[in-house]
Structure 1
């Protein structure tokens, strides 16, 4: 059996967290000086374990195993959200390095910009060959507006090739990640074998009313787009629980009122709304419900609401054989302390699942915190899960 060096694994993770250190977390936004320093640091670690490192024209760092296959691909990302946690992404990349150090035939990848500072999964999509140059030309940083082309030039990546992955090289893709929720910790569990990654269906609701004076317009006369938005979301919150699955979630991420002044009745409201589930029929029921609510409110309100579907992603189901290998290893190392569970967040694994078998392993998140500098996981749980993944990877390669 492969002997994984858990002490060195934890040492690497703690060394990486010093790059862009922010309180107990990190601040390594994509293509920042800290992010590029961490990518060069990672390439050095890859060399140490016998991998052949390279960085492509979108910032993906790739460590290629020089020996014969069959091979596995293992990884995640190492840039962070702003002022965020030290494990989100980094855990999966350093797990790959640990497996390579243990002698397993793995290639290790750190995908660029999983966190979406410039776009949606641009690193993993580039490796699949579905990131066009025209899209790169159009993308800008969502926080400060810097064009992606400018960021690539400043990072020294301009003009570098963007090769596609060859899926025939791999038997499958493994990604270790923190749960980013409370399901494991709340049940006293130490590992989660992921069944699939949820689909995210996103919508824009535009409500047209009548802008008017807040003092001179009686309540009976008003066509208040803001109040319609509140009433619509209240109905969603009443009716969705009758149709949802056990892990369905829904979120109103933005309500924008125009003109947005305290003494003016809002004449227009824009609502950005999403729901997530791993089951497509559940997603379809929820969209039907949302459509019906809009239709009914257009008959009863003095405003008009338009529903626009912005995106409907597909759930990515994890490979059954890889799940079985992880489950067997979890039973060996944490019998009675693990469970099968879906991922409520998006991950690079959902793109790898399009071209090869893919799977994920979750570690607990203390208090469920993620995308915040207080994000953390017990070191004994990190060590436990790297042993689970090493045993699962070795067994799956033999199978």
Structure 2
């Protein structure tokens, strides 16, 4: 195995010139800049001896021509709007470096992990969890344009969609930036991901009475906004009693109706979610949320109801892959790594429905991601790809 880390960094630098925005990148899925990057990647795949193709949902796939056993490696290359240069791209270029080093890996850039048109369209398509009807229904989250039109404009209409080949892979690997501060705050250079958290998402709807802010006394008011604030304060007080150390919960959106300065809001709608690696912990958090809504309805003048939106189950890393990556980390950076969960969702979680998976994290400077100032030290990028390659080699050779 001849790993060329200098070429790995040059490839990263070259890719970031496509769609440059300040020190970051703007490459939303199926934009001209995104498609330029996909064709650029396909050419790089061919140069390292892979059979490259772009399928009907935009996955860029490089198939190893030699004998197995094989690994699948990759991430995504589209970005959030006006965002960072490493989120996703790091994992794809690292996978390319593994192929260039002679490891038996198939390399993939999974389409639309960033969700411009849906949830994990590329990886879901690869595991057989994306229907033609879902593609018909998909719209751009910003413009409302149809996915079918976007695929046609990108030159992808009519192309077949790839499926993972049964029996081809022993597992899938992904290198990614942490997108948080745990590694940096601990003075560590690498994270071996033990699993990817699950998510449960809810809509909390509170019904009150719209009325005049001057003429309605405080005794008469049914202010949906105040009830929403008190309920969320209760959540923040009670969840720490039932959660785990790495549990998180988020009020992503609050909508007040009619949302006017001189009108008491008659309705509030809250989008609320929580995450953890443990199903048991999330069950406790869900039970607590139901109780807090019940308690709110007992005390408040406005009624609240919970509407379930959806859930993603936690995905634990494969023990064999995990052991290989931990061994590689201890060999190449002894004492400078830690095992940790991923609080963000990645394509690997979708792939885990079909394959054993594992991930590595490199530190994010200041924990910043999804912003053009996102960055990682170059020596940490090099270390990440070296540990990934060593871990892949160990796993393929039986540790």
For the residue of structure 2 that corresponds to 1:163, the secondary structure is coil
Question: Aligned residue for 2:176?
Answer: 177
Q: How does 1:247-396 map to 2 (within 5 A)?
A: 247-396=246-395
Question: Aligned residue for 2:78?
Answer: 79
Following the alignment from structure 1 to structure 2, what is the Cα–Cα distance between the partners of residues 311 and 234?
23
Q: How does 1:39-188 map to 2 (within 5 A)?
A: 39-188=38-187
The answer as to 2:221 corresponding to 1:222 is yes
CA deviation profile, 1:115-143 (whole Å, cap 9, x unmatched): 00000001100111110111111110101
CA deviation profile, 1:58-107 (whole Å, cap 9, x unmatched): 00000000001001000000000000000000000001100000000100
TM-score by length of 1: 0.99
Q: Shift of residue 373 of structure 1?
A: 0.3
Q: Shift of residue 167 of structure 1?
A: 3.5
Following the alignment from structure 1 to structure 2, what is the Cα–Cα distance between the partners of residues 389 and 295?
48
- List, as ranges, runs of 4+ consecutive aligned residues in structure 1 with deviation greater than 2 Å: none
Q: Shift of residue 266 of structure 1?
A: 0.3
CA deviation profile, 1:143-192 (whole Å, cap 9, x unmatched): 11111111001000011101211141001100000000000000000000
For the residue of structure 2 that corresponds to 1:252, the secondary structure is strand
Q: Shift of residue 44 of structure 1?
A: 0.7
Following the alignment from structure 1 to structure 2, what is the Cα–Cα distance between the partners of residues 134 and 47?
33
For the residue of structure 1 that corresponds to 2:330, the secondary structure is helix
Question: Aligned residue for 1:4?
Answer: 3
Contact 1:136/1:148 (<8 A) preserved: yes
Following the alignment from structure 1 to structure 2, what is the Cα–Cα distance between the partners of residues 114 and 254?
22
Following the alignment from structure 2 to structure 1, what is the Cα–Cα distance between the partners of residues 18 and 229?
43
In the comparison of the two structures, how many residue pairs are matched?
398
Contact 1:167/1:356 (<8 A) preserved: no
The answer as to 2:29 corresponding to 1:34 is no
CA deviation profile, 1:217-261 (whole Å, cap 9, x unmatched): 001100000000000000000011111111000000000000110
Q: Shift of residue 3 of structure 1?
A: 2.4
For the residue of structure 1 that corresponds to 2:284, the secondary structure is helix
For the residue of structure 1 that corresponds to 2:370, the secondary structure is coil
For the residue of structure 2 that corresponds to 1:159, the secondary structure is coil
TM-score by length of 2: 0.99
Following the alignment from structure 2 to structure 1, what is the Cα–Cα distance between the partners of residues 166 and 386?
26
For the residue of structure 2 that corresponds to 1:112, the secondary structure is coil
Contact 1:68/1:105 (<8 A) preserved: yes
Question: Aligned residue for 2:240?
Answer: 241
Following the alignment from structure 2 to structure 1, what is the Cα–Cα distance between the partners of residues 16 and 357?
27
For the residue of structure 1 that corresponds to 2:167, the secondary structure is helix
Q: Shift of residue 390 of structure 1?
A: 0.6
Structure 2 runs not aligned, ≥5 long: none
CA deviation profile, 1:290-317 (whole Å, cap 9, x unmatched): 1000001101100010101111211011
RMSD: 0.6
Following the alignment from structure 1 to structure 2, what is the Cα–Cα distance between the partners of residues 320 and 222?
57
Following the alignment from structure 2 to structure 1, what is the Cα–Cα distance between the partners of residues 327 and 190?
12
For the residue of structure 1 that corresponds to 2:145, the secondary structure is coil
Following the alignment from structure 1 to structure 2, what is the Cα–Cα distance between the partners of residues 4 and 309?
47
Contact 1:112/1:121 (<8 A) preserved: yes
